Structure 1
Amino acid sequence: MSENECLIEASPEDVFAVLIDGWSYAAWVVGASRIREVDPSFPEPGGRIHHSVGAWPLLVDDTTTSLEYEPGRRLRLSLRVWPAGHGEVEFRADETPDGCRLVMTEKAVSGPVALLPAAVADLMLHPRNAEALRRLKLLAEGHRRMDRRST
């Protein structure tokens, strides 16, 4: 299991506005290259983001499915990471005086990465997830600035 944390100068609602916008997924998820479709029910449990990973012409179509959703607090997703297997990622947000503390936890559920010792899997997942949170932070803070301009 790998855990990353990020302090974001935006409200949990602004952070979740990005997290639950399936069409923004490729903008912050490392490796996702395009969004093909987002189920209307996403982020409710069972709703899916249909995306592709890789770079053209070596694109693989895949999906991410919502498992649990608490608005502005928590989102848990099931990831199909072909050919590496399946994983789960959870985002938990806590309000802070300056915005939000977001914790991202990822674990491999099946496939080759699930067979690795936890410390080795973390060496693979931690840097990628740190970059994903950096991108998410930029989007959420930009979202907050846009909201302030419109009021």
Structure 2
Amino acid sequence: MTRVARKQTSAPPSRVWEVLADGWNYATWVVGASRIRKVDAAWPAEGSRIHHSVGLWPALLDDRTAVLAATPDRRLVLRARAWLFGQAEIELRIEPAPGGGSTVTMSEHVVTGLPSLLPDFVQEQAVWPRNQECLSRLALLAERATPDGPAA
């Protein structure tokens, strides 16, 4: 059974996409990303990259994440470097929810490095809590700018 992080939000798909399409938001919703150093002007076009740091100061590691595929308001596929741990592919899907809002799903698989040898179900269990928190943060960012977003 595949374990994919999933989050319902009152924000429409276009608003969720706006948050994803602003690369400077990346460290706000991605757990582990500490700061953004540079965002390619073409972000989130295929091949564009975000240059970010991971970890806690003063032990920060510089890394980058690239776009493998993008369909505005629907899907974003990323390849994130994880320094010593290899690289992971992350897919975010945005679907209109019945009655308004969106359902956002996030899946992640390590594709290079030692952790890629782990079975998919082990990888999925390991990243699920982190990805669920990423989606909670993403939803909060998307909802804050909607007229009917949550109260402060």
Residue 94 of structure 1: aligned partner: 95
Unaligned runs of 5+ in 1: none
Post-superposition CA distance 1:67-115 (Å, at most 9, x none): 1111111111111011110010111111112300111111110112211
Q: Alignment length, in residue pairs?
A: 147
Residue 71 of structure 1: aligned partner: 72
Post-superposition CA distance 1:27-61 (Å, at most 9, x none): 01000000000000110001100000001111000
Provide the C-alpha distance between the structure 2 equivalents of 1:135 and 1:66, rounded to a whole number of angstroms: 20
1:67 partner SS: strand
Runs in 1 of length 4+ with deviation above 6 angstroms?
Answer: none
1:35 partner SS: strand
Provide the C-alpha distance between the structure 2 equivalents of 1:66 and 1:112, rounded to a whole number of angstroms: 23
Residue 114 of structure 1: aligned partner: 116
Corresponding letter in the other structure for 1:123: Q
Indicate whether 1:16 and 2:5 are aligned: no
Provide the C-alpha distance between the structure 1 equivalents of 2:124 and 2:131, rounded to a whole number of angstroms: 10
Q: TM-score, normalised by structure 2?
A: 0.91
Conserved 8 A contact 1:95-1:101: yes
Deviation at 1:123, TM superposition (A): 2.2
Residue 56 of structure 2: aligned partner: 55
Conserved 8 A contact 1:78-1:88: yes
Provide the C-alpha distance between the structure 2 equivalents of 1:140 and 1:76, rounded to a whole number of angstroms: 19
Residue 141 of structure 1: aligned partner: 143
Q: TM-score, normalised by structure 1?
A: 0.92
Provide the C-alpha distance between the structure 1 equivalents of 2:3 and 2:32, rounded to a whole number of angstroms: 17
Conserved 8 A contact 1:2-1:121: no
Deviation at 1:4, TM superposition (A): 1.0
Superposition RMSD in Å = 1.6
Provide the C-alpha distance between the structure 1 equivalents of 2:146 and 2:79, rounded to a whole number of angstroms: 28
CA distance 1:112–1:145, shift in 2 (3 Å): farther
Corresponding letter in the other structure for 2:68: L
Provide the C-alpha distance between the structure 2 equivalents of 1:53 and 1:146, rounded to a whole number of angstroms: 33
Deviation at 1:118, TM superposition (A): 2.1
Provide the C-alpha distance between the structure 2 equivalents of 1:101 and 1:29, rounded to a whole number of angstroms: 18
Conserved 8 A contact 2:29-2:138: yes
Provide the C-alpha distance between the structure 1 equivalents of 2:133 and 2:17, rounded to a whole number of angstroms: 17
